Amino acid sequence: MSDKHILVTNDDGIYAPGIKALWEAMSELGHVTVVAPNREQSAVGHAITLSDPLRVDEINRSNGFKGFSVDGTPSDCVKIATQALLEVEPNVIVSGINLGSNTGTNIIYSGTVSAATEGTMLKIPSVAVSLNSFESRDFTGAKKAAKTVVSHVLEKGLPEKTLLNVNVPAIPENEIKGYKITQQGNVAFRDRFEKRVDPKGRVYYWMTGQMFDPDEEPNMDHNAIMDNFVSISPIHYRLTNHDFIDELSGWDLS
Amino acid sequence: MSDKHILVTNDDGIYAPGIKALWEAMSELGHVTVVAPNREQSAVGHAITLSDPLRVDEINRSNGFKGFSVDGTPSDCVKIATQALLEVEPNVIVSGINLGSNTGTNIIYSGTVSAATEGTMLKIPSVAVSLNSFESRDFTGAKKAAKTVVSHVLEKGLPEKTLLNVNVPAIPENEIKGYKITQQGNVAFRDRFEKRVDPKGRVYYWMTGQMFDPDEEPNMDHNAIMDNFVSISPIHYRLTNHDFIDELSGWDLS
């Protein structure tokens, strides 16, 4: 085993099967510490906990899995792990393995990706790993992909402000065609609200809807996993639209 | 009054002073509907509510302010407003006026900006407005800036996937030097966790810390408001780091 230190987190919570799979895969690459939310935190985006204190509990399971559970968001976990819990700064932060892909515009809502973004902001190379299924318990392909990508990141590093967003098709490992470097595509969730009335006569709404994918290009993240490739997108958070600066500067705002 | 429809939201909650100020300013530009969280939702990032239903209440205040309060996040408010509550699609969505600036890497955590991002994803031109003070109740300068910027957006529109992030210095209106088109800078919050022990002997942590600003360039968002200008940054959510695609494609991942 190398002397690398790896921080593992997620947004499905420390008891989710995906984080156990990721812990197993990462344990082959270095010393792993798990710091993860104590309950599911999906679709929390890049939330942080400002107005409440954070509680931390140590977890020790009979299978050897141990770590810290935090009553906060994925971003909270990365912050408190690196600033308060870990004695050594991790060489890499890996978030996942999420149940459900994080592609296209949906990555804006993703707690899995936000944990990696938080790591990146702390200048630690970070990787988010998601499996394109809400039900699968077969993490074989995703574990292999995580191990492959993270071992390269440990060796080569990542550019400033850039994380890798890895999505793995939920198919038997030997059917995965390989790795494709992709862009964030335009796949999105089209919302619909279902209006209902509760037994006391009060109205409430359920958000529902479905994914739609307007992308044609095969090098888009969602299309790559549909084509049975592992998708790897380099994601940054330089959010300025430089293309619009000149036109905007022409607006007469005085 | 024009026939424009304006959706106003925020992350400080529907009872915050900033949203009332924004409602007043926008009422001079068109028909305003307020749909905002029923309580403070700061630092929620781009969270959405998937596992609980959303409740909506109508608010009617004696000063004429009315709208809908939602027990959800700023993104939830924009979604439910446009998909379920409004009869007409708004011409513009305006989020704010936030107490506290949203500049640099901090915009990642911002509920104010995320509401505008959500509007942008729904292809509706959107603007986020923040005042650089946590205490000020003088919204005069911010109201004028919001009115100026939004009236231009109503006239000219915005490019696809691009919102305007407006930050206003908390100084008397006549001391504001004008408008500066800026980039998202690197100002950030440097976290520190304060470890405490509760009366029952359990450990808990408070997140604290302070802002730091490594930017030198005057055309960065935070520096512009420090220089007494209204900062306007065009923000998009095309998150692919294209500069790294070639190098990443050279990694031997087989």
Contact B213, B184 (CB under 8 A): no
Which amino acid belongs to residue B90? P
In angstroms, rounded to a whole number, what is the distance separating the alpha carbons of residues B206 and A114?
A: 21
CB-based contact A206 B53, cutoff 8 Å? yes
CB-based contact A206 B149, cutoff 8 Å? no
pLDDT at A217: 81
Give the burial class of B88: count Cβ atoms within 10 A of its Cβ; 0-12 exposed, 13-18 middle, 19 or more buried: exposed
What are the residues facing A165 on neighbouring strands?
A128, A233
pLDDT band at B45 (very low <50, low <70, confident <90, very high): confident
* Nearest-by-CA chain A residue for B249: A181
In terms of pLDDT, which residue wins out, A213 or B208?
Answer: B208
pTM of the model: 0.91
Give the CATH number, domain containing residue A44. Answer: 3.40.1210.10
- Closest Cβ–Cβ partner in A51, A148, A159 for B244: A159
CB-based contact B239 A240, cutoff 8 Å? no
Q: Which long-range contacts (CB under 8 A, 24 or more apart) does A20-25 make?
A: A20/A63, A20/A65, A21/A97, A21/A139, A21/A142, A21/A143, A22/A94, A22/A96, A22/A97, A22/A129, A22/A139, A22/A143, A22/A146, A23/A65, A23/A67, A24/A143, A25/A143, A25/A144, A25/A146, A25/A147
CB contact burial A223-250 (16+ within 10 A = b; e otherwise)? bbbbeebbbbbbbbbbbbbeebbeebee
Contact A77, A106 (CB under 8 A): no
pLDDT band at B76 (very low <50, low <70, confident <90, very high): very high
pLDDT at B209: 82
Express each pLDDT in B192-214 by its tens digit.
899 999 898 888 999 888 888 77
Please give the structure tokens belonging to residue A63.
């299978």
For chain B, the 3-state helix, strand and coil shares in percent, each to the nearest 5, are 30, 30, 40
- Closest Cβ–Cβ partner in A114, A233, A238 for B45: A114
B162 belongs to a structural domain:
yes
B191 belongs to a structural domain:
no
CB-based contact B242 A183, cutoff 8 Å? yes
pLDDT at B146: 98
In angstroms, what CA-CA distances link A15 with A19, A60, A226? 8, 11, 28
CB-based contact A240 B183, cutoff 8 Å? yes
Give the burial class of B198: count Cβ atoms within 10 A of its Cβ; 0-12 exposed, 13-18 middle, 19 or more buried: exposed
- Does residue A109 register a pLDDT over 80? yes
pLDDT at B217: 81
List chain B residues with CB under 8 Å of A114.
45
Nearest-CA distance B184 → chain A (Å): 6
A60 belongs to a structural domain:
yes
| Strand stretches in A150-241, DSSP E | 162-168, 179-181, 188-197, 203-212, 230-236
In angstroms, rounded to a whole number, what is the distance separating the alpha carbons of residues A7 and A102?
A: 20
Tell me what the mean pLDDT of segment B93-120 comes to: 94
Tell me what the mean pLDDT of segment B235-243 comes to: 92
* Nearest-by-CA chain B residue for A188: B121
| Domain membership of residue B20 as a residue range | 5-186+216-249
- Closest Cβ–Cβ partner in A44, A48, A241 for B235: A241
Nearest-CA distance B193 → chain A (Å): 6
pLDDT at A247: 93
DSSP track, A10-67: -SS-TTSHHHHHHHHHHHTTSEEEEEEESS--TT-TT----SS-EEEEEEE-TTS-EE
Nearest-CA distance A116 → chain B (Å): 13
* Nearest-by-CA chain A residue for B188: A121
* Nearest-by-CA chain A residue for B50: A207
CB-based contact A121 B109, cutoff 8 Å? no
Phi, psi of A218 (to 5 degrees): -70, -20
A155 belongs to a structural domain:
yes
In this structure, of A124-128, A198-202, A229-233, B151-155, the range with the lowest mean pLDDT score is A198-202
List chain B residues with CB under 8 Å of A234.
240-241, 244-245, 248
Interface test with A, best of B241, B243, B244, B254 (most A CBs within 10 A): B241
CB-based contact B239 A241, cutoff 8 Å? no
CB-based contact A80 B245, cutoff 8 Å? no
pLDDT at A226: 94
CB-based contact B179 A45, cutoff 8 Å? no
* Nearest-by-CA chain A residue for B163: A241
- Does residue A234 register a pLDDT over 80? yes
In angstroms, what CA-CA distances link A37 with A47, B19, B110, B194? 12, 33, 21, 19
Place of tokens 């992308």: A215
CB-based contact B159 A44, cutoff 8 Å? no
A15 belongs to a structural domain:
yes
B202 belongs to a structural domain:
no
Inter-chain contacts counted by CB atoms under 8 A, chains A and B: 208
- Does residue A1 register a pLDDT over 70? no
B21 belongs to a structural domain:
yes
pLDDT band at A64 (very low <50, low <70, confident <90, very high): confident
Give the Cα-Cα-Cα angle B105, B109, B113 (nearest 5 degrees): 90
Tell me what the mean pLDDT of segment B178-198 comes to: 91
Which of A155-164, B189-198, B208-217 is predicted most confidently? A155-164
pLDDT at B49: 79
- Does residue B157 register a pLDDT over 80? yes
List chain B residues with CB under 8 Å of A235.
239-241
Count of structural domains within chain B: 1
In this structure, of A25-39, A198-212, B17-31, B110-124, the range with the lowest mean pLDDT score is A198-212
Task: Determine the 3-state secondary structure of B156 from DSSP.
Answer: helix
pLDDT at A21: 97
Average pLDDT, chain B: 92
CB-based contact B54 A204, cutoff 8 Å? yes
ipTM rounded to 2 decimals: 0.87
pLDDT at B1: 57
Sheet bearing A203-212, strands edge to edge: A188-197, A203-212, B54-60, B66-70, B31-37, B5-9, B92-99, B126-131, B162-168, B230-236, B179-181
Tell me what the mean pLDDT of segment A171-196 comes to: 92
pLDDT at A195: 92
A67 belongs to a structural domain:
yes
